[in-house]
Structure formats: C-alpha cells, structure tokens
C-alpha cells in the first residue's frame, strides 16, 4: 500500500508532464511563426517542418494553431579568414588604431613615409589588380571606341560572382575600362584582357613586366580582375603603382568618376563608384581603387591632397565593409591635426605621440 500510491502518483504526473510537453511543442513553433510573419526577421537557424496532409491543392498552406507558417531554413557559414588574419598581422598594434592590418601613407612629392604598418607584407590584392589592368590598356593606345562583346569566357568561375553585364553584351573598350576602374566590374576587366592583341596570356605577361619595370618586386599577377588570390603585392609596391597610374589623366578621371550610365539593349544601367569618398566634399582625391575578396579583406589605395600635401595611401586586409574608409578618415584627421614635416609614425608609436 505504501509503495503503490507513490508509483501511481508518479505515473499520473508523468502523463501530465508529457501532455504539457506536447502542448509546448505545438505552441512554440506557432509563436515563432507569428514572430517571423510579423517582423520578417529570421532569428534562428532551427527549422521545424509540419507535414502537409493530402488536400485538393498542393499549394495548401501549413497551419499551426491557426497561424500560417512556412519552413524557415537558414544556413550559417563561418567567415573565411583572410591571408592577413592567418598570418597574424591583425595582432600588430598601431598608433592610429587602424582596422587594416597593412597600411602605408607617403608624401607623393618627397617620398617621406608618414605612416607604416606591415608595409612589406605580401598579400592578395583583390580588385586593386584592375589599376594595373587600366595602366596596360591605357598605355597600349588601343581605340577606345572599338566594340567588345562579353562572352562566356568572361564569366567568373573563380568566385562565382555576379555581373549585370550578361553574356552577349556589347560595349566599347572605353566603357568597359570605365566600369572596371570605377565600379570594379569583373567581366569588363576580363574582357579587356581577353581582347588585348595577343590574348589574355599576353596581357597578364605585360602586367607582370610593367610591375618589374616599376620596381614592384613583391608583385605578381595571374589574371586581370583580382578574383584570384594569387594576384599579390605589398603596400610598398602598390604605392609605387598608384604614383605611376596617377600620371595618366584618363586613369585619374575614370577612377574618380562618381557614377556612369551605359545603354545595354533597351535598358540603361546605372553604375556607381565603389569608393563613397569620391563624393565627399571634404576629400580631394586624384586617383583611387577599392578591392575585396575574402582572402584579401577590404582594400583601398588612393592619391589625395590633405593639408596642402599630396599623399598616397594604401590600406590592405581591413576587417569590415566600411573600415577601410574609416581608416582613411583617421589618417586624414591626423594629418590635418599635425601640419608639420616630421610626422613619421611607426606601429610602436604611442597614441600620445601621434595625437599630441
């Protein structure tokens, strides 16, 4: 008698708990579905699918407690580390607290180094590659009004990136160069290299030959877009390239163009500059190029005038979409706040030395 009663009570409690668990299991998905429907935000990667019963229409909705619910499927993919992160370059501290693991700021006229951080590190350079692509195309003096058609060969098989220039699109060489330099259009850049006299291999060979002639010893190119992580360089080399490219008036104009329209069939496509600083009245930018692939991080090179001095800035492997622009702003404010000739900063310099 004394052993039977506790067992009965326990079994009854177990049944009640099971019933409550069933109610909870049905109520929680309904509440989640209501939240998703109301806010439009998918907060969890957990998916619970409710089996459809055989009904007259295959499109019959799924309902839980009267609330329409569709299965929510969300995949969370870990961010791929950049080469700089793998090498531990982000562990280097600097006086301006830059988010780029590599940075270099030099006076264009005197070659004085104002700021340096891991400036000899050799890393993937992403679409900064297109600056050399522009140098080669411009130097060749090819007809800019020659029509070039985008082909399947120009489609990105390296990263699978998209493009608004569909296969079969025909634009002039000048238009393609504008899109490649201003808005970093990959198919445009590839088409420029593919249609160069001698073909793509000749074009890439000229890119590397030009780098060597400029003294860019840390630089190598394997294609004209920057989609390949094997396109690599250092901040020192890139500063040399920016200086050389700045001497070309067409490259200055195209890289700093705020926006550009091209007619494609019956449509007009609007393209914008990938560097929003070109529209900022506080900046006087003579040449610029941005770049990004996961292996390279966010990259930026610029020629600009600050406090009466012409400067070349290089930022590589920056973490965060806007951080490269934030780093440029930090450097600009520092230069404006310290209008003296002796401004060289090392990564070991303290914030007090820089900002004081």
Overall average pLDDT of the 282-311 stretch:
97
Largest CA distance in the chain: 105
- Among 117, 130, 210, 289, the active-site one is 130
| Domains delineated in the chain | 1-46+61-76 (no CATH), 83-355 (3.40.710.10)
Read off the tokens for 18: 């099971």
Q: Which of 23-27, 159-163, 313-317 has the lowest mean pLDDT?
A: 23-27
Q: What is the pLDDT of residue 38?
A: 36
Q: Exactly one of 100, 116, 183, 184 is catalytic; which is it?
A: 184
The pLDDT of residue 22 is: 40
Q: Is there a catalytic annotation at residue 101? A: no
Q: Which pLDDT does position 320 carry in this prediction? A: 81
Q: Hey, CA dihedral for 115, 121, 127, 133, is it positive or negative? A: positive
Q: How confident is the model at residue 338 (pLDDT cuts 50, 70, 90)?
A: confident
Cα dist from 93 to 49, 116, 142, 323, whole Å: 49, 11, 46, 16
Whole-angstrom Cα distance, residue 218 to residue 164?
33
Mean pLDDT of the chain: 82
**CA 244-246-252 angle, 5° bins:** 145
Q: Is the pLDDT of residue 33 over 80?
A: no
| 240-289 pLDDT, tens digit each | 999 999 999 999 999 999 999 999 988 999 999 999 999 999 999 999 99
Does residue 144 have a pLDDT over 90? yes
Q: What pLDDT digit, counting tens, does each position of 236-251 carry?
A: 999 999 999 999 999 9
322 and 301 in contact (C-beta within 8 Å)?
A: no
127 is catalytic: yes
Closest of 202, 203, 210, 209 to residue 189, by C-alpha: 203
Of the residues 100, 116, 127, 318, only one is catalytic, namely 127
* Residue 184 bears catalytic tag: yes
Residue 352 vs residue 115, higher pLDDT: 115
Is residue 290 over pLDDT 70? Answer: yes
Residue 45: pLDDT band (50, 70, 90) is very low
Predicted pLDDT of residue 341: 53
In this structure, the chain runs to a length of: 356
Residue 98 pLDDT exceeds 70: yes
Output 138-142 pairs: Cβ under 8 A, ≥24 positions apart.
Answer: 138/177, 138/248, 138/250, 138/251, 139/210, 140/196, 140/197, 142/173, 142/196, 142/197
């Amino acid at each position: 008698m004394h052993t039977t009663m506790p067992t009965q009570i326990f079994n009854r409690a177990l049944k009640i708990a099971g019933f409550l668990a069933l109610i909870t299991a049905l109520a929680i998905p309904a509440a989640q579905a209501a939240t998703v429907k109301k806010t439009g935000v998918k907060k969890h990667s957990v998916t619970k699918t409710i089996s459809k019963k055989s009904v007259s229409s295959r499109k019959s909705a799924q309902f839980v407690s009267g609330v329409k619910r569709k299965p929510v499927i969300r995949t969370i993919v870990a961010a791929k580390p950049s080469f700089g992160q793998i090498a531990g370059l982000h562990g280097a501290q600097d006086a301006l607290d830059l988010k780029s693991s590599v940075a270099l700021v030099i006076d264009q006229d005197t070659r004085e180094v104002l700021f340096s951080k891991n400036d000899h590190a050799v890393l993937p350079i992403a679409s900064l590659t297109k600056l050399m692509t522009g140098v080669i195309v411009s130097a060749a003096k090819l007809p800019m009004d020659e029509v070039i058609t985008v082909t399947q060969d120009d489609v990105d098989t390296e990263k699978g990136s998209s493009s608004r220039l569909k296969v079969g699109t025909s634009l002039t060489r000048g238009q393609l160069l504008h899109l490649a330099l201003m808005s970093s259009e990959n198919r445009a850049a590839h088409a420029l290299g593919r249609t160069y006299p001698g073909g793509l291999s000749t074009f890439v060979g000229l890119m590397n030959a030009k780098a060597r002639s400029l003294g860019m010893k840390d630089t190598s190119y394997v294609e004209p877009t920057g989609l390949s992580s094997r396109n690599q360089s250092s901040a020192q080399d890139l500063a040399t390239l920016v200086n050389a490219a700045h001497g070309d008036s067409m490259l200055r104009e195209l890289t700093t163009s705020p926006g550009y329209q091209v007619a494609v069939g019956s449509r007009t496509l609007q393209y914008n500059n990938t560097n929003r600083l070109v529209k900022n009245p506080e900046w006087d930018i003579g040449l610029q190029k941005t770049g990004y692939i996961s292996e390279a991080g966010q990259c930026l090179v610029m020629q600009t005038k600050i406090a009466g001095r012409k400067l070349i800035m290089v930022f590589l492997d920056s973490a965060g979409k806007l951080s490269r622009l934030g780093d440029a702003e930090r450097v600009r404010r520092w230069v404006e706040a310290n209008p003296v000739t002796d401004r060289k900063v090392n990564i070991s310099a303290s914030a007090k030395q820089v900002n004081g």
